[in-house]
């Protein structure tokens, strides 16, 4: 017995030597690791001890990342110092980790578990491998220790036992460093999180705010793309103009109930999808448009403090795997902190848009607008104000006391400003600006707050100087007798306020006005039109008509309102005939002077119209409106089609009391109308020179038109050709020859009613 104990305690015994070696190594591991101050330093120390003790070329410690299911190395001996990540089920290290037992491999390239890709990436040639699980004393597996290529001989079981013993001894220190590092990382992340939240809370512009948010989300969750969608309550759409991985000009907008984002918005619940294409809610069309491939999706509602969903944050493609519960918590925490910043930015954006909108309105206004604060200091002035007051620099007006601005001959306005707090005031007055007298309409309005407190005053100034000059100039075109009748009529207020009656409207329009403008230039064109209008207006007023308005080179004239006559349709037709005869005299004079002649067409219609003083309180015009007016304008535009100068509607033709030389040129459905309207041409202005044998031609044309209505194309063609023999310039006859030829080739379907649909106005 004593011999056995002596033999057991003999230090020269191989087993005693092995135990002593283990004890020395473990003591060295404990001592050296105790000196380390970080996880990287601890891993490097353990690698150095294991490779040196066992005698290998290279060693690596792989730690397990439970969140991603990966083994990663933080430090490797040799010249390579970079992170290597592999799935914790792949390769020799993955096998050892999942099986929780060591492995000895003498020829790596003959072992199916060996991953050659690592050698390819690093350039290192692996021959043999010794790999042991990295376990704590309690048996918790936190990684794998692996050493490569034993320098002398092959790896043996004693080497594996020693490696397992050393890693187990080191596991406590490594795990402690991991915990410390995680605490430091969490603290750093929390500080960064608070810093970003602080920045977000202080950002008022929406686009920079969204850019900050998505950049933070992308970094925080380590994903390929991040987008923050905001709900547009006006259109019920989710939209974003910025996104990580999106083109700078990309704008995404879609209904707030569609897709993954729509589902999250409507349900206010997060969605975590590890495999996008396996989920029926996923819409792959955006991937097809952009070429991006979506693998995983995490989508989180953004709620305001009342719990209302105001948007959705969405992140795509977590690097290294799918989004986990920790990612959900982090994104939820972040979105809950940024919702207030988003609402503030949206509110600021709305206010800014409203401000820009108001400024645009003021800039485009023709009237000057000045606002004063409660102390009488000018705070704003629009572009029209600068123009009216002949002040090109805005700063010369702003912040100026109104008492100094409206002084001297304009000081009377200050008295009006003193009483404007009680009620609005409207003035028709005069202002003196740099010695020039301006006729103006001035509106003074108090500016009140929500609690009716005085905020200041608004001054609106309309410069009507040019308008008064224009009215003075144009007054000579109005019939004085008509004006006297209107003013002395007992029911003038009713007439001006609005009246429905039957009237005759005459439209005239100059032909080839563009050519005239190009040839004569601006001044020459104005001079010509003034001469032309003077003659034409006399023709109208002499027949008791009223010039309603000039429309460029066109005129709109009224017969029958405001003072009606029994023969207003005849007056309109007689005026049109005289306009043609007087125009011939005018053109003969111009031709003798070597000037180009002018031509025009006229359309007349008798129908129900509405007349009255129409406009705004600041600008009113007496005019007529209604379908009867529109039809007259469209009949006038048809003159060119038939080569006519005077066209009247069937309503006017039925209303006239006298007999005129007319022919029906069509029975058409005018654009904008559903019922066909008869259109007739008046030819009484012609003489033997302008249309020889007019009576014979009229008879032939009317016979041809009846044949056209009866669908007798050949007979109609013969008659229209006879019209052309009398007058080759008869455009209406030529038009019907073309129409008859078309109808012969394209017979009408069903019963022919003779109606030709007019496609132009």
Rounded to whole angstroms, the Cα distance separating 293 from 286 reads 9
- Tell me if 517 is assigned to some domain: yes
Tell me what pLDDT residue 573 has: 95
> Do 589 and 626 have their domain in common?
yes
Tell me what pLDDT residue 202 has: 53
Q: Is the pLDDT of residue 124 over 90?
A: no
Instruction: List Cβ<8 Å contacts ≥24 apart for 623-632.
Output: 623/548, 623/549, 624/503, 624/505, 624/548, 624/558, 624/561, 628/503, 628/505, 629/505, 629/556, 629/605, 630/672, 631/605, 631/607, 631/670, 631/673, 631/677, 632/505, 632/506, 632/507, 632/603, 632/604, 632/605
Cβ contacts of residue 288 below 8 Å, gap of 6+?
Answer: none
The 10s digit of each residue's pLDDT in 577-633 is 999 999 999 999 989 988 888 999 999 999 888 877 666 666 656 678 888 888 898
Tell me the HSE value of 456 on the side-chain side, using a 13 A CA sphere: 14
pLDDT band, residue 653 (cuts 50/70/90)? very high
> Do 701 and 649 have their domain in common?
no
Residues in the chain, how many? 761
The 10s digit of each residue's pLDDT in 106-123 is 888 888 888 887 777 777
Mean pLDDT across the stretch 675-685? 90
Mean pLDDT across the stretch 338-360? 66
Q: Is the pLDDT of residue 190 over 50?
A: yes
CATH number reported for the structural domain that contains residue 634 in this entry: 3.30.70.1230
> Do 60 and 144 have their domain in common?
yes
- Tell me if 99 is assigned to some domain: yes
CA-closest candidate to residue 686, choices 712, 706, 651, 661:
661
SS3 for 176?
A: helix
Q: Which of 659, 685, 711 is the last residue of a domain?
A: 685
> Do 219 and 319 have their domain in common?
yes
CATH number reported for the structural domain that contains residue 405 in this entry: 3.30.450.20
Cβ contacts of residue 196 below 8 Å, gap of 6+?
Answer: 212, 216, 334
> Do 321 and 420 have their domain in common?
no
CA-closest candidate to residue 543, choices 636, 479, 639:
479
Tell me what pLDDT residue 761 has: 47
> Do 647 and 691 have their domain in common?
no
> Do 380 and 510 have their domain in common?
no
The 10s digit of each residue's pLDDT in 362-389 is 677 778 888 888 888 988 888 888 888 8
- Tell me if 390 is assigned to some domain: yes
Q: Which of 669, 685, 701 is the last residue of a domain?
A: 685
The residues facing 228 across adjacent strands are 313
**Could you tell me where the DSSP H helices lie in 268-411?**
285-290, 325-364, 383-388, 402-405
Q: What percent of the chain has pLDDT over 90?
A: 16
User: Quick check: 546 and 558 in contact, CB under 8 A?
Assistant: yes
Q: How far is CA 476 from the centre of its chain?
A: 50
Residue with tokens 């003659």: 535
SS3 for 82?
A: coil
SS3 for 161?
A: helix
- Tell me if 89 is assigned to some domain: yes
pLDDT band, residue 197 (cuts 50/70/90)? low
Q: At what angle do helices 14-35 and 157-202 cross, to 10 degrees?
A: 10
User: Quick check: 60 and 71 in contact, CB under 8 A?
Assistant: no
> Do 303 and 425 have their domain in common?
no
SS3 for 206?
A: helix
Rounded to whole angstroms, the Cα distance separating 391 from 405 reads 12
> Do 247 and 341 have their domain in common?
yes
What is the domain extent for residue 229?
203-346
> Do 305 and 372 have their domain in common?
no
- Tell me if 760 is assigned to some domain: no
Instruction: List Cβ<8 Å contacts ≥24 apart for 30-37.
Output: 30/169, 30/173, 33/170, 33/173, 33/174, 34/173, 36/173, 36/177
What element of type H or E holds 59? Answer: strand 56-65
Highest-confidence segment of 233-242, 294-303, 323-332: 294-303
Q: Is the pLDDT of residue 515 over 60?
A: yes
Rounded to whole angstroms, the Cα distance separating 88 from 109 reads 20
Tally of structural domains, the chain: 5
Rounded to the nearest integer, the mean pLDDT of the chain is 79
Rounded to whole angstroms, the Cα distance separating 81 from 84 reads 9
The 10s digit of each residue's pLDDT in 419-478 is 776 556 667 788 888 888 888 888 888 888 777 788 888 888 888 776 665 444 344 434
- Tell me if 612 is assigned to some domain: yes
The residues facing 361 across adjacent strands are none
User: Quick check: 59 and 131 in contact, CB under 8 A?
Assistant: no
SS3 for 609?
A: strand
Q: Is the pLDDT of residue 140 over 50?
A: yes
User: Quick check: 332 and 270 in contact, CB under 8 A?
Assistant: yes
Tell me what pLDDT residue 585 has: 93
CATH number reported for the structural domain that contains residue 241 in this entry: 3.30.450.40
Tell me what pLDDT residue 41 has: 77
- Tell me if 558 is assigned to some domain: yes
> Do 60 and 169 have their domain in common?
yes
Q: Which of 685, 719, 734 is the last residue of a domain?
A: 685
> Do 651 and 557 have their domain in common?
yes
- Tell me if 352 is assigned to some domain: no
Tell me what pLDDT residue 338 has: 67
């Amino acid at each position: 017995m004593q011999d056995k104990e002596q033999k057991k305690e003999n230090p020269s015994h191989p087993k005693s030597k092995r135990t002593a070696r283990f004890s020395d190594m473990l003591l060295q591991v404990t001592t050296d690791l105790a000196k380390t101050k970080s996880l990287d330093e601890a891993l490097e120390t353990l690698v150095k001890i294991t490779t040196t003790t066992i005698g290998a070329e290279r060693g690596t410690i792989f730690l397990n990342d439970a969140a991603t299911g990966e083994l990663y190395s933080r430090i490797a001996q040799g010249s390579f110092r970079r992170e290597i990540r592999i799935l914790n089920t792949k390769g020799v290290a993955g096998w050892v980790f999942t099986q929780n037992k060591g492995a000895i491999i003498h020829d790596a390239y003959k072992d199916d578990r060996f991953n050659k890709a690592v050698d390819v990436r690093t350039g290192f040639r692996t021959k043999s491998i010794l790999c042991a699980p990295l376990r704590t004393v309690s048996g918790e597996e936190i990684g794998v220790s692996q050493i490569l290529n034993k320098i002398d001989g092959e790896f043996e079981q004693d080497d594996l036992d020693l490696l397992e013993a050393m890693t187990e001894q080191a596991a406590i220190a490594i795990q402690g460093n991991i915990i410390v590092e995680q605490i430091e990382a969490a603290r750093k992340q929390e500080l960064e999180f608070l810093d970003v939240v602080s920045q977000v809370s202080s950002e008022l512009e929406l686009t920079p705010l969204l850019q900050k948010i998505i950049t933070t989300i992308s970094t925080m969750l380590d994903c390929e793309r991040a987008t923050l969608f905001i709900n547009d309550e006006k259109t019920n759409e989710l939209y974003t103009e910025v996104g990580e991985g999106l083109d700078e000009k990309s704008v995404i907008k879609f209904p707030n109930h569609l897709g993954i984002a729509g589902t999250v918005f409507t349900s206010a619940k997060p969605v975590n999808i590890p495999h996008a294409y396996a989920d029926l809610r996923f819409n792959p069309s955006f991937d097809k448009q952009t070429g991006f491939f979506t693998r995983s999706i995490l989508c989180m509602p953004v709620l305001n403090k009342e719990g209302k969903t105001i948007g959705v944050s969405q992140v795509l493609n977590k690097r290294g795997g799918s989004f986990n519960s920790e990612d959900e918590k982090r994104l939820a925490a972040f979105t809950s902190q940024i919702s207030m910043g988003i609402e503030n930015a949206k509110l600021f954006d709305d206010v800014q848009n409203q401000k820009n909108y108001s400024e645009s309105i003021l800039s485009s206004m023709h009237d000057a607008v000045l606002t004063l604060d409660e102390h009488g200091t000018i705070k704003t002035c629009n572009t029209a104000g600068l123009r009216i007051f002949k002040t090109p620099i805005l700063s010369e007006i702003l912040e100026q006391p109104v008492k100094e601005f409206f002084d001297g001959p304009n000081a009377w306005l200050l008295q009006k400003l003193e009483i404007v707090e009680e009620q609005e005031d409207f003035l028709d007055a005069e202002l003196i600006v740099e010695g020039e007298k301006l006729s103006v309409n001035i509106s003074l309005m108090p500016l009140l707050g929500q609690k009716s407190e005085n905020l200041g005053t608004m001054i609106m100034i309309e410069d009507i100087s040019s308008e008064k000059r224009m009215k003075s100039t144009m007054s000579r075109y109005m019939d004085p007798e008509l004006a006297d009748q209107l003013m002395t009529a007992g029911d003038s207020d009713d007439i001006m306020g609005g009246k429905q009656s039957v009237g005759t409207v005459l439209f005239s329009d100059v032909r080839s006005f563009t050519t005239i403008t190009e040839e004569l230039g601006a001044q020459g064109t104005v001079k010509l039109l003034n001469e032309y209008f003077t003659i034409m207006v006399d023709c109208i007023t002499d027949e008791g008509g009223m010039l309603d308005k000039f429309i460029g080179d066109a005129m709109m004239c009224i017969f029958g309102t405001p003072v009606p006559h029994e023969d207003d349709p005849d007056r309109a037709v007689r005026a049109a005939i005289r306009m043609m005869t007087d125009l011939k005299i005018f053109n003969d004079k111009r031709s003798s002077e070597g000037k180009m002649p002018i031509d025009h067409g006229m359309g007349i219609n008798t129908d129900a119209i509405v007349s009255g003083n129409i406009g705004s309180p600041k600008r009113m015009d007496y005019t007529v409106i209604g379908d009867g007016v529109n039809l007259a304008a469209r009949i006038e535009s048809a003159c060119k089609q038939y080569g006519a100068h005077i066209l009247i509607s069937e309503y006017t033709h039925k209303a006239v009391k006298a007999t005129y030389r007319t022919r029906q040129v069509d029975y058409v459905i005018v654009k904008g109308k559903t019922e066909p309207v008869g259109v007739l041409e008046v030819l009484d202005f012609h003489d033997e020179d302008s249309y020889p044998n007019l009576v014979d031609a009229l008879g032939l044309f009317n016979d041809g038109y009846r044949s056209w209505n009866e669908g007798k194309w050949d007979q109609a063609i013969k008659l229209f050709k006879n019209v052309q023999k009398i007058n080759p310039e008869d455009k209406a006859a030529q038009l019907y020859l073309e129409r008859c030829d078309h109808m012969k080739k394209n017979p009408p379907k069903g019963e022919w009613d003779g109606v030709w649909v007019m496609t132009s106005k």
